[in-house]
A and B are shown apart, each in its own frame.
Chain A
């Protein structure tokens, strides 16, 4: 009987300690959603980015060392 009571009391005290030490939960302030303002410059800006991405996507520089490697194998 005494064992049960002491377990319950211990449990309650542990809970009490934890609650006492717990930091109050801070809810971050809600950020206002950015307004999707479309300006006449947006279309041009997007187009310029598209040119850059096409340039990067089709860049052949990664194949630059093929000549040398193939040339080496030609002479093994």
Chain B
């Protein structure tokens, strides 16, 4: 016994020595190998460095020369631009430091275009706020000439519009047409996208609607799952010729179909209830319509539950199918209405951002930082304008679908609306891409684009019947503030 124990101890001792020996070898071998590897790497690195050094020595003067030329060119361009601005200021005999600042915030192309106007017209433009002057000066010469020949009040109103809208108005045939179009436009002042919400909901109301959505989603998914299961069983029973099982499963299919429809309607209802971009009146109307549909489906559901005979089940199925066919595209229209409300929210945000971009860019220009992003800002404006246009068309289609009785017409209107919403979303996505390009270009120019969240901007008010813009917003037409005072309000922190 003792001998065996001694042998085991000896065996384990030997194993431990072997394992320790291996570990020690690895650990001692590692540094050597590593050192060796480091040595090789250092040697290679040294060689590369040598080669790079040699190359750099060859290329350096070339790069240096190119950089010097590039810096020189930039400085020369900057000096030429300053010279042009100075000439323009001298020509206007402008002493007002605020107006001088506005001219200094113009980029090279804009200075040239403005310089081409007669003094009187330029003076009218310098009355505009810095960012507005910068924006309107992006119009081409002919359009700028046309707009600047209008009276000051109208120029101020046009200057408050987006670049795309300015372009559209200035492109009209004559001054009379521009004035006619301008008369229909209302301008409001806002700070943020939230100011454009069609209604303001209490936080707890939104939270309640969100919870209702979660419950409705769960209910709908559960019903859908059970519907699919019952459908399989119904088809199997029908296939096997078991009438009793067929009727039993048919009843289950009908019940779960009704529950799926109700669950879906409840989901849409809660999404409408939490959305602040749907006016109070419109939301109440939609919710009432949905509630009415839910009640009708609930009534059919009761009939299904009570059905005992084949005839009763068939009658209940007929009634549910008829209601479903009647409601299905209306339900799609309700869902699309929720989606358009979200699109509206993004468009509002983008429209405000476009104006704030001009403020931020004017500030950069004033600091002497020239980020050549006007083409991108113009593209951003055009894309937002496209998104808005297609979105408004989609809204019209959905409104028509709401009152339309013919099922096929409702389907076709909802299909058209869906396609328009898709286009609108695509434009928004492209605009988002342009915005990223603008930010990147400004960064390349050595600055970060700083958007002042508190700055007040003017935007065009929607011609929406359900529009219920808050009292705090005011119309520019009634506004008597001087541009100078307004500008102080817009100062970036």
Interface residues of A (CB under 8 A from B): 2-3, 6, 9-10, 13-14, 16-17, 20-21, 39-41, 43-45, 47-48, 50-52, 54-55, 57-60, 62-63, 66-67, 69-71, 73-76
Interchain CB contact under 8 A, A21 and B19: yes
Answer yes or no: B401 CB below 8 A from chain A CBs: no
Which of A41, A50, A52, A54 is within 8 Å of B432, CB to CB? A41
For A13, list chain B residues within 8 Å (CB).
Answer: 9, 12-13, 15-16
Interchain CB contact under 8 A, B314 and A76: yes
For A6, list chain B residues within 8 Å (CB).
Answer: 5-6, 8-9
> Number of A-B pairs whose CB atoms are under 8 Å?
143
Interchain CB contact under 8 A, A48 and B332: no
Interface residues of B (CB under 8 A from A): 2, 5-6, 8-9, 12-13, 15-16, 19-20, 22-23, 193, 213, 217, 224, 231, 234, 238, 246-247, 250, 253-254, 257, 260-261, 264, 267-268, 271, 310, 313-314, 317-318, 320-321, 324-325, 328, 331-332, 335, 338-339, 342-343, 345-346, 349-350, 353, 356-357, 425, 428-429, 431-432, 435-436, 439, 449, 451
Interchain CB contact under 8 A, A16 and B16: yes
Q: How far is the CB of B7 from chain A (nearest CB, A)?
A: 11
Q: How far is the CB of B435 from chain A (nearest CB, A)?
A: 5
Subset of 24 A-B contacts with CB under 8 Å: A10-B9, A13-B9, A20-B22, A21-B19, A43-B349, A44-B346, A45-B432, A47-B349, A48-B429, A50-B342, A50-B346, A54-B338, A54-B339, A57-B213, A62-B224, A66-B321, A69-B257, A70-B321, A73-B253, A73-B313, A73-B314, A73-B317, A74-B314, A76-B246
Q: How far is the CB of A28 from chain B (nearest CB, A)?
A: 20
For B325, list chain A residues within 8 Å (CB).
Answer: 67
User: Helix, strand, loop or mixed for chain B's interface?
Assistant: helix
For A45, list chain B residues within 8 Å (CB).
Answer: 432
